[in-house]
Amino acid sequence: MAARCEATAQIDLGAIASSIRACADAAPTAAVMAVVKADGYGHGLVPSARAALVGGATWLGTAHVGEAIALRKAGIAAPILSWLNPPGTPLDAAVATGIDLAVSAVWALDEVVAAAGHTGKTARLHLKIDTGLRRNGVLAREIEPLLDAVAKAQADGSVEVVGAMTHFVHADLPDHALISEQVAEFTAALEVAARHGIRPAIRHCANSAATLTRPDTHFDLVRPGIACYGLTPIPQAGPPSRFGLTPAMTLIAPVALTKPVRAGEGVSYGHLWTAERDGHVALVPLGYADGVPRAATNVAEVLLGGRRERIAGRVCMDQFLVTASADVVAGDEVVLFGPGDRGEPTAQDWADALDTISYEIVTRIGPRVRRTYVNDPASGSRPAADESS
C-alpha cells in the first residue's frame, strides 16, 4: 500500500450529515441543534458545522463564546448558542453578531445587558436551569431572583428571552428515572417563568441519548453532541448503526520503523511489555501529546497489515510500538480506529479498552494530527482535502 508520511485524522463529512439526519428522524417534532464545541468533538469546528447544517441541523451549539464567534467569522449565519462563559468573558462581539447566550445568574445577566448597551443591540438569552446536574445553570428552586432581573431587562429592551434549557444527569442512561424527574422540574421552572411574564419559545434539554430514545424530552429543540459524529451515546444498546449513525473519524498513521525482538526482550519505558517469542514490532509516530492515551499501554489495538495488533509497551509522548508481522515495513498504514468496516478498531473499542467513553477518544486528538476531509455533502467532492482544524 502507499506510504504515508504523517498522522492524519480523516473526517467523513457525509457521515456527519447522515448522522444529523438520523437525529432529525428520531425527533421529528423538534428542531436540531448540532453541538460543535471542542473543535467539533475533535473533527474540526467549521467543517463539522457546515456538514451538520447540510444534514438538517438548524442551530449550532458551543460551550465557549469564542467558538461561536469563530463560526460567525467563517460566514455561518445559522442561530448559534453559547452556554459556558465565566465572568469577564468579552460578549460585545457575540451580541453584535446575534449569538445567543445562556445565563445562569444575575451577574451573568448583568454582563450580557452591558454588552447590549455597548453594541446597541438586543441580546438573545436562554435561561440555563439546573435540574439536578449541579454544574452550570441556576437552581430551579432559586430561579426567581434571576427571573425578576431578566423580566426587567426584557422590559427595558436590553434582552429577548429566546429559550430555556437544562441538561440531564444520566446522559448515557435514557431510561433512568431521574430524567423524568428532571423534565418535571424543568417544566415547573418554566411555569414559574411564565408567572414572571417570561415564556421562552424554544425549550430544550435532550442530549444525544434522549434525542434518539426519549421523545418525551424533545420539546422544541434537541441538542445532539456525540451522535452528530456518528458515535453512539448508549454503547450498551448496540453499535452506532442501530440508531442510523456512521462514525466520521478515522485515525491513521504511518509505520516509522520496524525491528525484530527476541523472546524475553522488553520494549519502551520500563519494559512493561516483554516478547513471549521471537517476532517484530512497528513504531507509530503518535503519542500522548497527540491524544493517544498513555493508558492505552498494552491494551489498545490497531489495524496493521490486515491484522489487529496490540500496543506493546508504554505509550510515549510522541510514539508507541505495536506488535507486527515480519512483512510490515516503514511507511505501511496503521489505522488506530475508524468506522470498523475494514476490521479496524472503533473509537468505542478504544474506549472500552481504556474504561472511558468514545467522546474522550476523539476529542483529545491533538493539533499535530492533520485533519483531512472527504465526502463533503456541500460540494459533492469525494477525494480528501486538506483543511486545518
- Do 111 and 174 contact (CB within 8 A), yes or no? no
What does the pLDDT read at residue 29?
97
The answer as to CATH 3.10.20.740 being correct for domain 249-386 is no
Residue 119: all three cell numbers together: 453594541
- Do 154 and 198 contact (CB within 8 A), yes or no? yes
Where along the chain do its domains lie? 58-227, 249-386
Residue 89: all three cell numbers together: 468573558
Torsion sign over Cα 39, 83, 168, 132: positive
Which one of 41, 73, 121, 269 is the catalytic residue?
A: 269
What does the pLDDT read at residue 4?
58
What does the pLDDT read at residue 379?
80
Cβ atoms within 10 Å, residue 283:
19
- State the helix-helix crossing angle for 106-119 and 144-155, rounded to 10 degrees: 10
Helix, strand, coil percent content, the chain, rounded in steps of 5 = 35, 25, 40
Q: Is 21 exposed, middle or buried (0-12, 13-18, 19+ CB in 10 A)?
A: middle
* Average pLDDT per consecutive 10 residues, the chain (389 residues; last block may be shorter): 75 98 98 98 98 98 98 98 96 98 98 98 98 94 96 97 97 91 97 97 97 97 98 96 97 98 97 97 98 98 97 98 97 98 97 97 97 88 44
What does the pLDDT read at residue 380?
53
What does the pLDDT read at residue 171?
82
β-strands 8-12, 249-254: how paired?
Answer: antiparallel
Which residues lie across from 32 on neighbouring strands? 222
Which one of 37, 229, 288, 359 is the catalytic residue?
A: 37
- Do 16 and 48 contact (CB within 8 A), yes or no? yes
Q: Do domains 58-227 and 249-386 have the same CATH topology?
A: no
Q: How far is CA 120 from the centre of its chain?
A: 34
Task: Reply yes or no on whether 269 is catalytic.
Answer: yes
The pTM of this model reads 0.94
Task: Reply yes or no on whether 37 is catalytic.
Answer: yes
The answer as to CATH 3.20.170.30 being correct for domain 58-227 is no
